[in-house]
Amino acid sequence: MEREVRVRFAPSPTGPLHIGGVRTALYNYLLARKLGGKMLLRIEDTDQNRFVPGAEQYIMDALRWCGIEIDEGIEQGGPHAPYRQSERKPMYRQYAQQLIDSGHAYYAFDTAEDLDAMRARLTAAKVPNPQYNSITRAQMRNSLTLPEDEVKQLLESGAQYVIRLKVPRKEEIRFNDLIRGWVVVHSSAVDDKVLMKSDGMPTYHLANIVDDHLMEITHVIRGEEWLPSAPLHVLLYRYLGWEATMPQFAHLPLLLKPDGTGKLSKRDGDKLGFPVFPLEWHGTDAETGQPTVSSGYRESGYLPEAFINFLAFLGWNPGTQQELFSMQDLIDTFTIERVSKSPARFDQNKVRWYNEQYLRAKPDAELAHYLIQELHTQGLAVPQEKAEQIAALVKERATFPADLAKEAQLFFQRSTTYDEQVISKKWNAPVAAALAAFAQELTTAPDTTPDGIKALLTQVVEGQGMKLGQVLQALRVAVTGAAAGPDLMHIMHILGAPETAQRIQLAVEKLAA
Ligand code: GLU
């Protein structure tokens, strides 16, 4: 029988989720939904020293905002609960014991000083990467080197120890990565990783493998930074007797800074001029202890659909020209095979472009709703119909919802200044006279639709022996104060004939003075 596809997102709650983490969660989710499987959220909090309060809640809130739904997790529960590793602590010990019993792991009693001395010795001997491994373990204090009764006595006396994996000296470890193909690593490059710490907590490696096995995970999709750990994980599956159901691995490409000079990291915070976190994060500065705020996509006015569409394309493409994909489109189209091996560069213009597309595609009624609320905070009451007209007109100039309100200001406030460049070039006595005549006609015009206004304007201007092009910019400045903006005929239509006429008359008076 085919196994049900089960994937997991397994963040450590050490801080806010970075956009690379969101992308990992997204690809897992897309695969799960596409193949009718399950998406798990497992909190990997075995490293208590790195625990950051609020991070776990942040992760869940961020995934929810993105529309990444979790089937099994700490909130949802599920057949393999608990989904928080700190609550699973008693489960791991037996597997470490199993590895010891089968000769694949051992007790190590070395003190911090012993380890430092070993590193110093190896460094002095010019060993490039000093490690506790198949060679160096022979000189250390562990259950492979000490006499059996001494080991027994040490264990009984409650001496501090860790449990390490006994990595073979000469073996090729191979696995097939769904994105990278065959990965072959020689075991001499793998160190004897600690599986169980002296405080009785499992390390990431042991807990991760045990949980992936117990939770029946079929695909491990995670960031490239975990690729060096994968050979170790393959050994763990083998030694625990779980190789037949070992998940398939897929290591995602790195996310680079916009200039391609390195990995986009959490530490980049707001330094690069764009958020690296989905939601705003309130943290503490590690050095000063002062509160810090890092901006988030949500608070910066990005729509989750746009953010997700953008992220999906950082490392994946559908192989067609299509760029706009809803979550459902992504689910339908996504395949691991089309995830790229090469790193993806963050592109700030692209994420803004996506936001514009999604914002402008929203129904005017929805944009109007936003506009009404926003203007309300400024003490302005705007009827739905008018808000819809404004939204429809200004959305082409907006990247974020807040831009709608900014662009809408001209409808509620007469400008106190007039664009000087336009005035000096385009404003003169005949233009002012033509505009005054137009304002006069407008107050009694029967047709104040945008087309009606344009016809009237043309008629008045041509009646004065001028062309429309000679007055248009001056008219825009008279009505709005600015040299550029949305379609002028529509602006005048929404403002209404009386207000438009008054604004023109005012400009004519002021600019004549
Ligand atoms: N806890 C690891 C992390 O924080 C999970 C890595 C994995 O997916 O195996 O990314």
CA 189 to ligand 1 centroid distance, Å: 21
Residue after which a domain boundary falls, among 175, 196, 217:
196
> To test the ligand 1 pocket, which listed residue (44, 193, 213, 246) has its Cβ within 8 A of the most ligand atoms?
44
Closest of 91, 81, 79, 87 to residue 4, by C-alpha: 79
So what's the pLDDT on residue 1?
64
CA 36 to ligand 1 centroid distance, Å: 23
Q: Is the pLDDT of residue 268 over 80?
A: no
Query: Are 423 and 406 in a shared domain?
Result: no
Nearest CA to ligand 1 atom 2: 11
Over range 149-163, report the average pLDDT. Answer: 97
So what's the pLDDT on residue 457?
98
Q: Tell me: the pLDDT tens digits for 429-447?
A: 999 999 999 999 999 999 9
* CB-CB contact of 336 with 179 (8 Å): yes
Q: Which residues line ligand 1 (CB under 6 A)?
A: 10-12, 44, 204, 208, 222, 226
Over range 114-143, report the average pLDDT. Answer: 95
Q: Is 254 domain-assigned?
A: no
Query: Are 161 and 177 in a shared domain?
Result: yes
Over range 308-330, report the average pLDDT. Answer: 98
pTM equals 0.93
Instruction: Please give the residue range of the domain that contains residue 168.
Output: 89-196
Return the CATH number at 160.
Answer: 3.90.800.10
So what's the pLDDT on residue 512?
85
> To test the ligand 1 pocket, which listed residue (52, 204, 227) has its Cβ within 8 A of the most ligand atoms?
204
Local confidence band at 51 (pLDDT 50, 70, 90 cut-offs): confident
CA 40 to ligand 1 centroid distance, Å: 13
Q: Tell me: the pLDDT tens digits for 177-230?
A: 999 999 999 999 999 999 999 999 999 999 999 999 999 999 999 999 999 999
Q: Is 148 domain-assigned?
A: yes
Which amino acid is present at 22? Answer: V
Query: Are 482 and 387 in a shared domain?
Result: no
> To test the ligand 1 pocket, which listed residue (28, 208, 218) has its Cβ within 8 A of the most ligand atoms?
208
CA 35 to ligand 1 centroid distance, Å: 22
Q: Is 208 domain-assigned?
A: no
Query: Are 405 and 434 in a shared domain?
Result: no
CA 246 to ligand 1 centroid distance, Å: 17
- What domain count does the chain have? 3
Over range 342-355, report the average pLDDT. Answer: 96
Q: Is 356 domain-assigned?
A: no
So what's the pLDDT on residue 287?
87
Query: Are 192 and 93 in a shared domain?
Result: yes
* CB-CB contact of 158 with 186 (8 Å): no
Ligand 1 atom with least separation from CA of 8: 8
Q: Is 68 domain-assigned?
A: no
So what's the pLDDT on residue 2?
79
Cα–Cα dist 400/276, whole Å? 17
Instruction: Extract long-range pairs of 487-491: CB within 8 Å, 24+ residues apart.
Output: 487/393, 487/450, 489/450, 489/451, 489/453, 489/454, 490/389, 490/393, 490/450, 491/393, 491/410, 491/411
- Of 134-143, 254-263, 448-457, least confident by mean pLDDT is 254-263
Ligand 1 atom with least separation from CA of 233: 9
Ligand 1 atom with least separation from CA of 229: 9
Residue after which a domain boundary falls, among 146, 178, 196:
196
* 266 known ligand binder: yes
Give the rounded percent of residues in the chain with a pLDDT score beyond 90: 94
Mean pLDDT score across all residues of the chain: 96
Local confidence band at 257 (pLDDT 50, 70, 90 cut-offs): very high
Ligand 1 atom with least separation from CA of 10: 5
Q: Is 377 domain-assigned?
A: yes
Local confidence band at 50 (pLDDT 50, 70, 90 cut-offs): confident
Query: Are 368 and 457 in a shared domain?
Result: no
Query: Are 370 and 453 in a shared domain?
Result: no
Over range 405-425, report the average pLDDT. Answer: 96
Give the rounded percent of residues in the chain with a pLDDT score beyond 70: 99
Cα–Cα dist 340/326, whole Å? 21
Residue after which a domain boundary falls, among 196, 213, 228:
196
So what's the pLDDT on residue 513?
65
Cα–Cα dist 145/424, whole Å? 91
So what's the pLDDT on residue 269?
66
Local confidence band at 267 (pLDDT 50, 70, 90 cut-offs): confident
Over range 71-79, report the average pLDDT. Answer: 98
Cα–Cα dist 307/321, whole Å? 19
Query: Are 473 and 446 in a shared domain?
Result: yes
Catalytic positions:
266
Q: Is 330 domain-assigned?
A: no
